[in-house]
Amino acid sequence: MVRIAILHDERPARPGRVTPEMTERISAAGGGAQVFCASSEEELMRICPDAEALCCWAMDCPSRWIEGAKSLKWIQSLSAGTEGLDPVRKSRPDVVITKMTGVFCLPMAETAVMYMLMLLRGMPFFIRSAQKHAWVKPPIGSSPREAAGLTAGIVGMGEIGDHIAEKCRALGMKVLGCRRTPTGEEKADRMYPLSDIKEMLPLCDMVVSLVPASPQSRRMFGAELFGSFKQGSYFISMGRGAAVDEEALAEALRSGKLAGAALDVFEKEPLPEDSPLWDMDNVIITPHTSAMSPANMERAADTICENLKRFVNKEHLIG
């Protein structure tokens, strides 16, 4: 009988609950698997010191528990990314690591469209004016704009990018996509390999970064790349904050190269209080919440169940 542990504590940064119904589903998917739920590493070590499978948020990696879990063969990340589990890859190369698929697409796509419409309609300016009780029209040349007819560029095009593309089209927008190596299955009107990103950027009114963390992507959105953006375009950062050079971004906003930005992720979180981005009238800042939804854990259960079936049957795991 397979033993699977779930490490998850309900808090603002990790919304959603592991319900009895969910554990029953997971147990059934594993042919009667034993499911152990813990809210801390200490509890995990106490109630299930040696499971064969673990579900946890990548950034909450229980390294001490993993060190002692000699039967561990598989870790299912509850996150879309798995870079927080990189130490495990080095210390336990025998352990298979999989990421979540399909869980965060809907909230991130809705958030991306919200950012786009807020930027185009001048909401950062209006919100700041309202806080001052000031009835002020936007400056000349900054009138609210329509999304229809504009072009959105999605860098790091994948599953989440496909969902954003569908919603952009519903607004009448054209969608360009960029990823290291396009597959031909992306839902963009045209795809560009990452090597041709400078060819794509000048065509985009909106650029959405969904770039994952890697040594190659660190600060890729710097002065040189921002220089390739269309004059007066907008930048939305929802992937990993380390992909953006925040000083170069601030300068692009000051110079008017960028008309505005919506930022959900940052190189250092929380964003330092002395960052100039806080005080810019054309910037939206949210605290890494674009993927949050109470429905995430229910969707995550679908992936866990599918992979657990495959794990029991010694089949290839997805993600």
What whole-number distance in Å separates Cα of residue 282 and Cα of residue 28? 51
**How is residue 262 written in tokens?**
């919506």
pTM of the model: 0.94
pLDDT, position 258 = 98
Q: Where are the domains of the chain?
A: 3-103+294-312, 105-285
pLDDT, position 142 = 79
Verify whether residue 180 is a known catalytic residue. no
Q: Which of 24, 42, 269, 315 is catalytic?
A: 269
105-285 maps to which CATH number?
3.40.50.720
pLDDT, position 116 = 98
pLDDT, position 201 = 98
pLDDT, position 143 = 83
pLDDT, position 13 = 76
Verify whether residue 67 is a known catalytic residue. no
pLDDT, position 140 = 77
Query: What is the topology classification, in CATH, of domain 3-103+294-312?
Result: Rossmann fold (3.40.50)
Q: Which of 121, 128, 288, 310 is catalytic?
A: 288
What whole-number distance in Å separates Cα of residue 155 and Cα of residue 313? 37
pLDDT averaged per 10 residues in sequence order, the chain, 319 residues: 95 84 98 97 96 96 96 96 93 96 96 98 94 91 91 97 98 98 97 98 98 93 98 97 98 97 97 97 96 92 97 97
Verify whether residue 186 is a known catalytic residue. no
Place of tokens 């147990």: 27
What whole-number distance in Å separates Cα of residue 40 and Cα of residue 56? 10
Q: Which of 92, 179, 240, 299 is catalytic?
A: 240
What's the order of all strands across the beta sheet hosting 96-98?
A: 34-38, 3-7, 53-56, 74-77, 96-98
| Cross-strand pairs, 260 | 234
Q: What is the pLDDT of residues 22-47, one digit of tens each?
A: 999 999 999 999 999 999 999 999 99
| 30 and 4 Cβ atoms separated by less than 8 Å | yes
